[in-house]
Amino acid sequence: WAIVCQTLTSADQLSSVYFKHSYEDWLENNGLSISPFHIRWQTAVFNRAFYSWGRRKARILYQWFNFGMVFGVIAMFSSFFLLGKTLIQTLGQMMADSSYSSSSSHSSSSSSSSSSSSSSSSSLHNEQVLQVVVPGINLPVNQLTYFFAAVLISGVVHEIGHGIAAIREQVRFNGFGIFLFIIYPGAFVDLFTTHLQLISPVQQLRIFCAGIWHNFILALLGILALILLPVILLPFYYTGVGVLITEVAEDSPAIGPRGLFVGDLVTHLQDCPVTNVQDWNECLDTITYEPQIGYCISASTLQQLSFPVRAYKRLDGSTECCNNHSLTDVCFSYRNNFNKRLHTCLPARKAVEATQVCRTNKDCKKSSSSSFCIIPSLETHTRLIKVKHPPQIDMLYVGHPLHLHYTETQYTPCINFVCLITFQNLSQTSWSAKTSGSDRIPAELFQILKDDATILGGSKNHCK
């Protein structure tokens, strides 16, 4: 895009040299202005509409912009509080990240404190009131169209507020326009500065606050539309039964015979029920920040599946007892009847399928007195997650939970021919989790345990 902008600028400069008068006249007649990385267009075509809106229902508009003025003043002082709180949270997050980085450089004895620091850092990040949006980092590239469309719409509504308020206060309105600065779209209104300076401060305040007031109303309408969306889509979609997968990346480790496919309806993550997108995110957060959950297994099954192993410590202090190259087996830990911690290597699918979840052996005694709670012995940030998507067999995922974020929606079509893509971005979450430094997860752990083998994904693989 920078090349396109520079090309337009160069063409503009060449045209101004060789066709100076005719070219400048053409730009002026069409309201165009071109400068490096900036294109602007202004027109008086909408002046009649603005004057019509600004002179209609004068008393109602007077009260309307009075409300806007009060809201603008309150919002201005509130912004100081929000910015201050965001600054404190950002500094706290930076300190937590620094503490986590230093603790992760210690030996395996510091793994628990490292995990605690990581959790607190992530918690601080999630609690931030204001979030910086960086395309390609925390805003997926495939959503840029929606993002910039929203920016342009909010900018137009903002400037319409300024324009109508100015006309209401008898300020001459010269025109309306839009601009493009590099890739950022926006809008503006051209007001007669002399008139603006002659009116009272209260009148000026009504004009200045009208833009943010209109943006606030637009946000309320957007929230209302989201709340009413299930009702609006009721003839075509139903909700509350799970989340529907609408997209899976081609390089995702979840692709395979027992992975997730477009159209799959996920109902549970581990023992956490999923009925909508909010449940999906909350379940993943719970799985991420709580210890790995275990699975009940009978003593006879444990004896049948297990075999002698040699356990050893990983760099982070966790225990491994399976062959590094195994595509089906996972190391599990459990306590025997003498409360001694043991480790055994088991075929993951046979060990966890059709079993209840647990934290200790006591949770398993309710169903059978001769059962043990086996807990996957994985690296600090890695989890084994059982994803239920009936009628297909459960998907077993080993990796960082954040990499299990997909493009999903809570709207399930009532009829088969209803297009999923149309609503794939309604109430969805699309993440691209990054790993770096001590958060990096070994490639062999990005696995989906399906059939009797797994598909390995690199450390940069993620699920959309």
Choosing from 28, 127, 159, 320, which is the catalytic residue? 159
The CA radius of gyration of the chain, in Å to the nearest whole number, is 29
Sign of the Cα torsion 107, 110, 111, 114 reads: negative
* Both structure tokens of 281: 């995110």
Q: Using CA atoms, how far apart are residues 210 and 198, in angstroms rounded to an integer?
A: 18
* Both structure tokens of 448: 């989906």
Q: What pairing do the DSSP bridges indicate for beta strands 312-313 and 294-298?
A: unpaired
Task: Show Cβ contacts of residue 197 under 8 Å, excluding neighbours closer than 6 positions.
Answer: none
DSSP code per residue over 52-71 = HHHHSSHHHHHHHHHHHHHH
Q: What pairing do the DSSP bridges indicate for beta strands 294-298 and 371-376?
A: antiparallel
Picking from 88, 97, 101, 98, the residue whose alpha carbon sits closest to that of residue 127 is 88
| Inter-residue contact 395 to 260 (CB < 8 Å) | yes
Beta strands, E only, 348-437: 357-358, 371-376, 383-388, 395-399, 407-409, 412-413
| Residues, the chain | 464
Question: Residue 247: beta bridge partners?
Answer: 407
Query: Is 159 an active-site residue?
Result: yes
Question: Residue 453: beta bridge partners?
Answer: 450
Residue 298 CA: distances (Å) to CA of 127, 176, 271, 354, 355: 42, 74, 19, 12, 10
| Inter-residue contact 457 to 251 (CB < 8 Å) | yes
Q: Which residue type sits at 98?
A: S
DSSP code per residue over 297-328 = EEHHHHHHH------EE-TTS-EE-S-TT-SS
Q: What pairing do the DSSP bridges indicate for beta strands 357-358 and 294-298?
A: antiparallel
Q: Using CA atoms, how far apart are residues 110 and 314, in angstroms rounded to an integer?
A: 13
| Inter-residue contact 262 to 464 (CB < 8 Å) | no
Q: Which residue type sits at 32?
A: L
Instruction: Give residue for tokens 């308020």.
Output: 165
Q: Which positions are annotated as active-site residues?
A: 159
